Amino acid sequence: MMKPRILVFVLFSACLTVIAGDNPINPDDPAYLRRQFAYFERLPIERQEQLRILDRDFAALNPKEQERLIRTLQNYNAWLTKLPEPDRKRILEATNSEDRLTAIRQIRLREYIESLPKAYRDEYLQITDVKKQAEKVREWRLEEQQRQEDWEFARQHFSEWITGKPLPMFQGGDRALVEKLVANLEPYLSDMERDSLRQRKFLGEVEGHMWWYARELLNLYEAHPLLPGKPGPKDYKSLPENVRTYLEMNDPLFKQGKLPPEIQQVEGRWPDFPLAVTKYCESKNLKLPTPLGDCKKEQMPEEIRDYLNKVLEPALSKNEQKKKLLAQLHATEGRWPDYPKMIMELSKSEKLPIAGWSLPGNPQAWDRLRKRKIDTKPAN
């Protein structure tokens, strides 16, 4: 078998030249190697020296990196040789590496779009803005990556959970708590996230198992930290009137009827929008006349008030160390998002979950869903 450092030269030169009759690459064929060497000798001296430097740099890499690069070159060469002649010619005749990469990216994007379902292709073609097209492609690629992770996860764990029994978090009273958590989480989700969660619930109910729905819920719960209280303003118009008046009187951008970029980009999302407004005001030493979310005990939902009165505050009154935490909690009351955020943090650190606001049931059951790495240990 050919040494990796020789193989990388063969692959590199073949990728650039795509010599007729030499595909697929056969680095164990002496005749093939002689043709490649003859090609190498015909190259300008400068190009020969570039390949020698590449060979030396490659030899200095660790074996894993060498293997990865060889695989990349093999895949690239296989892709290049199968391209229509105009596309291949465009890549090979590029005057510099930047132009070559631009051509490759454009061709790969076109191939990706052509591989999508018709509904996706039609949606893409209806988007005229280049930046929005790129955003949509990124969104689809993320969806595809998530699906691949889900299927790999399913491959590893499916058999141990499909036993005819419901998952632990869907047994007994925990099932109602899961649905209560979903109801509290929904205002935080985008339309796409909300639709995905509902679809997985529907499929789970139809197919008779809910682990995929539970995993999606876990991912969304961890991506959107909950802040106990009612959902608040999502855009400038929904801010309290006294807050709008204050901002327009004390900040140049708001006075001009403009939103700062960091606020504008999260408009329409809770709690991202009020969090961005609060952070911006803090950076400009602006003191809002009204907090942008619930931040007093009497403003909290009934279950949160009961939790504070009957669970968390009594637990924090047991010793002097805990009393310091209780004092810190009381000190944040009246400040948003500090007060609801600290309630959630103390709930987690003290291992005192809040019904409908925390993941119900045994944490180990959720940990099984949280694992993403694939086991590579050989079976005994």
Note if the pTM is more than 0.85.
Answer: no
**Residue 108 in contact with residue 80, Cβ under 8 Å?**
no
Q: Tokens representing 143?
A: 């969806």
Residue 27's pLDDT is 63
- Interatomic CA distance for residues 272 and 278, integer angstroms: 10
Residue 379's pLDDT is 36
- Interatomic CA distance for residues 247 and 231, integer angstroms: 21
**Residues of the chain with confidence (pLDDT) below 70:** 1-27, 151, 153-165, 371-380
Distances in whole angstroms, Cα of residue 156 to Cα of each of 51, 201, 290, 368: 43, 21, 50, 11
pLDDT in tens, 219-251: 999 999 999 999 999 999 999 999 999 999 999
* Count of residues making up the chain: 380
To the nearest 10 degrees (0 to 180), the angle between helices 130-161 and 97-115 is 60
Residue 25's pLDDT is 56
Omega before residue 271 within 30° of 0, cis:
yes
Residue 2's pLDDT is 43
Where would I find the beta strands (DSSP E) of the chain?
Answer: none
Give the chain's largest Cα–Cα span.
85
Residue 155's pLDDT is 66
Contacts of the segment 251-259: beta carbons below 8 A, 24+ positions apart: 251/284, 251/286
Residue 240's pLDDT is 96
For residue 365, give the nearest of 218, 223, 220, 149 by alpha carbon.
218
**Residue 181 in contact with residue 224, Cβ under 8 Å?**
no
- Interatomic CA distance for residues 46 and 34, integer angstroms: 21
Omega before residue 27 within 30° of 0, cis:
no
- Interatomic CA distance for residues 316 and 212, integer angstroms: 37
